[in-house]
Structure formats: C-alpha cells, structure tokens
Amino acid sequence: MIDWSSPLVHSSVDWVFIVLCAMLIGMSKTGVPGVSMIVVPTLALIFGGKQSTGVLLPILIVADVFAVIYYHRHANWKHLIKALPWALAGLVLALWIGYQVNDQQFKRMIAVIVFLSIALMILNDYGFKNRVVADHWWFAAILGIVGGFATMIGNVAGPIFAIYLLAMHLDKKSYIGTTAWFFFIINLSKFPLQAFVWKNININTLTVDILVIPAIAAGALIGIYAVKRIPEIIYKWLVIVITAISAFLIFI
C-alpha cells in the first residue's frame, strides 16, 4: 500500500489537487494546450511560489518523456535550434532574479507572467500571429529570452513558444513534436539550476513527484486519445477564465 504522507502536503484535499495537476500536465504534453496554465497557480497556492516550481519541474520532465516518445519523429530541428540558445539565456536571467526576491514577490511574478501569457493566447487567436515578422533573427531572440525567463520563473512559457512556432506555419504534428523536444531540453537544463542554486528540489519534493507518476501517465493517455472531443472554443475559454482567477488569487 502506498504511503501518501509527505512533509509538504498536509491535507487530502491538497493531494486531490496535486494529482489532478499531474494529470493535467500529462494531458498538456500530449496535445491539450493551455492546461498547465491552471496547474501553475494551483500549485503555487499549495506550496508557495518558489517551492511550487521545484515540485512541478520533475512532473514536467516525466510528462515531457511521454510526449517525446510519442511525437519524437515530428520535431522541426531548424526552428528548435534557432530558439534554444536564447531560451537558455532567459533561464540564466530568471535564475538571478529569482534568487534575489522573496516568496511573496516570486508568487506575484508568477501571477504577472500568467496574465501576460493569457494575453498572448488571446492575441494569437485574434490574428496577432499574422502580423509578426517571423523570419528575422530578433523574433526568435525576443521570444526565446522571454520564454526562457517565463519557464524558469513560473513554468508558463507554453503560450510564448506557441506564438513562435505558429508563426512558422508548422503542421499539427510538427508543432507538437517541436514543442515536446524544446521543453524536454529546457526542463532538463533547469533541473540542476533549481536543485543546486535555488535549492527548491529535494527529497521531499521528489517524493511528491514520484507518487503522482501514475497520474501523469493517465493524463498523457487521455491527452492522446480522448480530449480531442472537447470543443476547442469551450475548452480554451474555460482555461483562460479559471487561470485568470487562480493567478489573481496568487497576486493578492
């Protein structure tokens, strides 16, 4: 029988939300965009700002493995390589800033980045992607740095990288495969930084992560086979509204 006790989790209600978040991460990595936007503020409410990123990162890496296994053949490495160095620079910038602020400031940074990411999702839906100059080097540079910063501070770079890839007019499988490899590489790069610099990954956080691996796997399968039946417009606005409310709760 599994022992669900943990020094970081103090109630069964928290465990319900953590398991749900793990399932949503699995779903987001295998074809359901935007779900992780709900996860970030939810975990921040449970664990606090910086600690929540330490809990979430290994969950993301496990889910990345499922996504890479399923979509690895479809990655567009040309666009991937163009953005990766800039994203790594954004990681370093966020690493330094995150080391300087307290937990309340950190949570507010997460909330602000979540709000900006929601704005990007909406702008993307209403034609913003058709007006960007995607072929210029600075396009990859700007979105790469901002995306690297956002993923290090709050694991919310999905909408930012989506803007970059959608501007490249990739087909659906290439889009998912390139996204899978990008975040797998970035998240692996973040692990030693968070473990040894921020020190928010430890035996207690990893215990939580190990316990929710079955939920990640279940979410990944749901993302592949079932969630395509949800009407996209209903799903997307539900995500936006719930995420905005959660981010507001963090900010206050």
Is position 16 within any domain? yes
Higher-confidence residue of 17 and 127: namely 17
Q: What is the mean pLDDT of residues 81-106?
A: 85
Is position 206 within any domain? yes
Q: Which two tokens stand for residue 99?
A: 């080391």
Is position 131 within any domain? yes
Residue 153 pLDDT: 82
Residue 60 pLDDT: 95
Residue 131 pLDDT: 47
Is position 242 within any domain? yes
Higher-confidence residue of 98 and 134: namely 98
Is position 4 within any domain? no
Residue 246 pLDDT: 62
Question: What spatial distance separates the first Cα and last Cα of the chain, rounded to whole Å?
Answer: 39
CA angle 133, 144, 170 (to 5 degrees): 55
- pLDDT tier for residue 5 given thresholds of 50, 70 and 90: low
pLDDT(95) > 80: yes
By the 8 A CB rule, do 191 and 61 touch?
yes
pLDDT(70) > 80: yes
Question: What is the overall mean pLDDT for the chain?
Answer: 81
Higher-confidence residue of 52 and 125: namely 52
Query: pLDDT digit string (tens) for 160-207?
Result: 787 777 677 777 778 778 888 999 999 999 999 999 988 999 999 999
> Distance (Å, rounded) from C-alpha 125 to C-alpha 239?
14
Is position 6 within any domain? no
Please return the burial class of 53, using the count of CB atoms within 10 Å of its CB with bins 0-12, 13-18 and 19+.
Answer: buried
- The predicted model scores a pTM of 0.80
Is position 58 within any domain? yes
Query: pLDDT digit string (tens) for 197-239?
Result: 889 999 999 999 999 999 999 999 988 776 567 675 665 676 6
> Distance (Å, rounded) from C-alpha 147 to C-alpha 81?
14
Query: pLDDT digit string (tens) for 113-153?
Result: 777 777 776 766 665 445 445 567 777 888 888 888 888 88
Residue 155 pLDDT: 77
Query: pLDDT digit string (tens) for 32-47?
Result: 766 777 888 899 889 9
The whole domain housing 101 covers 12-251
Residue 16 pLDDT: 94
Number of structural domains, the chain? 1
Q: Which two tokens stand for residue 129?
A: 């992607």
- Spatial CA neighbour of 198 closest among 105, 88, 99, 101: 99
Is position 61 within any domain? yes
- Spatial CA neighbour of 182 closest among 228, 151, 212: 151
Task: Please provide the DSSP assignment of 23-92 as one string.
Answer: HHHHHHHTT-TTTHHHHHHHHHHHH-HHHHHHHHHHHHHHHHHHHHHHHGGG--HHHHHHHHHHHHHHHH
Residue 152 pLDDT: 87
By the 8 A CB rule, do 33 and 181 touch?
no
Residue 1 pLDDT: 38
